[in-house]
Amino acid sequence: MSLRRALHFVFKVGDRNKTATFYRDVLGMKILRHEEFAEGCKATCNGPYDGKWSKTMVGFGPEDDHFVAELTYNYGVGEYQLGNDFLGLTLQSSQAVSNAKHLGWPLTEVGEGLYLTQAPGGYHFYLLDKEQPPNDPVQKVCLGVSDLQRSTYYWSTLLGMKVMEKNEEKKTVLMGFTDTQCKLELHDIGGTVDHGTAFGRIAFSCPREQLPALEALMKKENQKILTPLVSLDTPGKATVEVVILADPDGHEICFVGDEAFRQLSMVDPKGNDLLDKAMAEDKSDEWFAKHNKQKAAA
């Protein structure tokens, strides 16, 4: 399973401008690529919406060796309701802490050299006030679960992750495919997991040849498959194959064929300009204001 790797987490965003400020100016990430779509994704990448939307990949470096964020924006939706499913993303960067203080972005010290901040929409980010490492600064993503033992079985035995650390006092398990990648932390919240309307999705890649076997294993184990093996087209770019799963608490998990994804995910030097252009041309806020209406709240 060492050939599997963590790729990104999908966040639904209602305000692209504020969101771009947070990722670029506070965290110090770069826009890796930006794509606009006229209709919804057939693997529901943008959620259960069939209208115009965009996808922006942001990170500290290329997706080949960095865990990044996928920001999906649905043009008619202004806000999403958070649940207790996504509990935070932790990254190591004293520069991000410094940026937040300089810009007046709210920070709360929650541990020695550890700060909690929020992305627009309320998503939690934990900033470790240490020098940014030469490799990927993103350390872990934490998801809430209702039964830690059941979830550990699912992610380790069925998906092949290695258990790296258990903390019975905090009711957490830290896992990963390799030591050098962003880790997944499962945290037992002692109750039902609520995904709200902002429900995210975590993505991993594996050799394309493993996708049918992974799908077959989930069928055999009576686990939920949200989207059976399907090909996704991005105009002018590589076609990728994906299987979308759901763990016992309904966390969405995307597995994508690695070979085609490496082609699809190449950094686009025009990404930053494409995002700025899309935001400048997005008159949806003005239209809603002119008609004295509010954007939909999902």
| Per-residue pLDDT at 76 | 84
Q: What is the mean pLDDT of the chain?
A: 93
Tell whether the model's pLDDT for residue 121 goes beyond 90.
yes
| Per-residue pLDDT at 295 | 65
> 231: Cβ–Cβ under 8 A, 6 or more apart, which residues?
239, 240, 241
Q: How far is 119 from 43, CA to CA, in rounded Å?
A: 25
Which range is least confidently modeled, 13-22, 36-45, 78-87? 36-45
> 155: Cβ–Cβ under 8 A, 6 or more apart, which residues?
161, 175, 184, 186, 247
- Give the model's confidence band at 292: pLDDT under 50 very low, under 70 low, under 90 confident, else very high: low
Q: Nearest Cα to 111, choosing from 131, 96, 88, 128?
A: 128
Q: Quick one: what percent of the chain has pLDDT higher than 90?
A: 83
In this predicted model, which residue has the larger pLDDT, 234 or 100?
100
| Per-residue pLDDT at 68 | 98
- Give the model's confidence band at 239: pLDDT under 50 very low, under 70 low, under 90 confident, else very high: confident
Section 85-97 average pLDDT = 98
| Per-residue pLDDT at 46 | 80
- Give the model's confidence band at 65: pLDDT under 50 very low, under 70 low, under 90 confident, else very high: very high
| Per-residue pLDDT at 1 | 61
Tell whether the model's pLDDT for residue 115 goes beyond 90.
yes
> 216: Cβ–Cβ under 8 A, 6 or more apart, which residues?
none
162 strand-pairing partners: 176
Section 253-278 average pLDDT = 95
| Per-residue pLDDT at 40 | 82
Q: What is the DSSP pairing of strand 252-257 with strand 201-206?
A: parallel
Domain 5-291: which CATH class?
alpha beta
- Give the model's confidence band at 250: pLDDT under 50 very low, under 70 low, under 90 confident, else very high: very high
- Give the model's confidence band at 271: pLDDT under 50 very low, under 70 low, under 90 confident, else very high: very high
Tell whether the model's pLDDT for residue 56 goes beyond 70.
yes
Q: Quick one: what percent of the chain has pLDDT higher than 70?
A: 95
Q: How far is 26 from 87, CA to CA, in rounded Å?
A: 20
Section 96-116 average pLDDT = 97
Domain ranges of the chain: 5-291
Which range is least confidently modeled, 43-47, 130-134, 257-261? 43-47
The 10s digit of each residue's pLDDT in 138-186 is: 999 999 999 999 999 999 999 999 999 999 999 999 999 999 899 999 9
Tell whether the model's pLDDT for residue 201 goes beyond 80.
yes
Tell whether the model's pLDDT for residue 212 goes beyond 70.
yes
| Per-residue pLDDT at 2 | 63
